[in-house]
Amino acid sequence: MHALVRELYPICRSITGDGVRATLARVQREIPLQVHEVPSGTPAFDWTVPREWNIRDAWVKNPRGERVIDFRRHNLHVVSYSVPVRARMTLEQLRPHLHSLPQQPDLIPYRTSYYREDWGFCLAHRDLESLPEGEYEVCIDSTLADGHLTYGECFLAGTSRDDVLFSCHVCHPSLCNDNLSGIAVATFLAKALAAAPRRLSYRFLFIPGTIGSITWLSRHEEQARRIRHGLVLTGIGDAGAFTYKASRRGDAAIDTAVRHVLRHADPGHAWRPFSPYGYDERQYCSPGFNLPVGCLMRTPHGEYPQYHTSGDNPDFVHAGQLAGSLRALLAIADVLEHDATYRNTQPMCEPQLGKRGLYGAMGGNGIRDLEMAMLWVLNLSDGGASLLAIAERSGLPFGTIHAAARLLLAHGLLAPQGENTALRQ
């Protein structure tokens, strides 16, 4: 995953353009990703797909003809969606188009101008302060013209028509945590789920932020209604503990599943209620859809100094943290796959587990946990409590409760409730 982050880092991405296509083409080498092109001007609810932006080169030359700002050195140097420019001007005329961070003088900021035609450059504040007076030559060799918005979709069909959504944004240039960590973990999560038996269907979206989710939703209203659980993945490679932003509903199954997994995997995690600001969860959770979609991240956006700066580089993202994020997501998927409701077939007092070889056969903490899990499952499986609810009430990990349920089902002590098929596999 970290190697994929490093490989994608130099590509200049935006909400449209060849950088998005190059990124998706690389992801296609890992998973069965379908790439879709939506023409500029296409209506998407209250929005319109914008014109496509591409850039070949950009620079500012000082009075000696030296490139003091150079897109080829770092693609954050150009304000994303800058219109073409070729001009000479004084430093005073140039300054309104220069963006820096006085409080972080060594970092290049990330700036955009998606929906307002403008142009500009970003640079470290120390470099800005060192610019001498005189005439500067400015060039932004870009195009802004009718084209397409590009997004990728990977659909892994299960035996159920219920969908689980994983969504990440592909619109940021050289930013590793806020962009590439989500892409890398989503890619390897899809690879893992593609190789495993599936009850649920999984839909992975690699989309430009905001306009991408709005466009997808506008074109797939019926498919969206099948989404039973969903997560937006972003900022999941830094050194921080997990942070989960709940869905608009607040008590959806995905909220409970994530809370349960993080309680056991990362006791230092933070929990935040839904708010209508952030990433694409705010589109999926808009009142017309109100989908059960939360947002999984580590340190939240805007709360680490490297956010939206050149400091968000490959060294800021840690391989171990990416691996931990993947493990947590696989655990969440396991909960969603196997959570189900069962009925105790011997509800009149405890069934005798010993004569079935299920109790007291071996010592060890692991076995004792499994025995306790069987008692919890038998006691609470009255057709009303799901395995996840039992895990939450017992304080035991879902995996242990699930293992106990499988044993009890195999010995005829549990029966599926209604159309429940999660353990029949």
Q: Are 396 and 376 in contact (CB under 8 A)?
A: yes
d(C-alpha 245, C-alpha 281), whole Å: 9
How would DSSP label each residue in 172-186? -SS-IIIIIIHHHHH
Token duo for residue 155: 């659909």
DSSP-based three-state secondary structure for 165: strand
CA neighbor of 358 nearest in space, from 404, 313, 393, 399: 404
Q: Are 237 and 326 in contact (CB under 8 A)?
A: no
User: Is 172 marked as a binding-site residue?
Assistant: yes
| DSSP conformational letter for 112 | B
Q: Are 306 and 109 in contact (CB under 8 A)?
A: no
| DSSP conformational letter for 190 | H
* Tally of CB atoms within 10 A around 419: 6
* Tally of CB atoms within 10 A around 215: 24
User: Is 178 marked as a binding-site residue?
Assistant: yes
d(C-alpha 82, C-alpha 402), whole Å: 54
Q: Which amino acid is at 412?
A: G
Token duo for residue 102: 């006085």
d(C-alpha 409, C-alpha 199), whole Å: 18
User: Is 318 marked as a binding-site residue?
Assistant: no
Annotated binding-site positions for Zn(2+)? 172, 178, 308
Annotated binding-site positions? 172, 178, 308
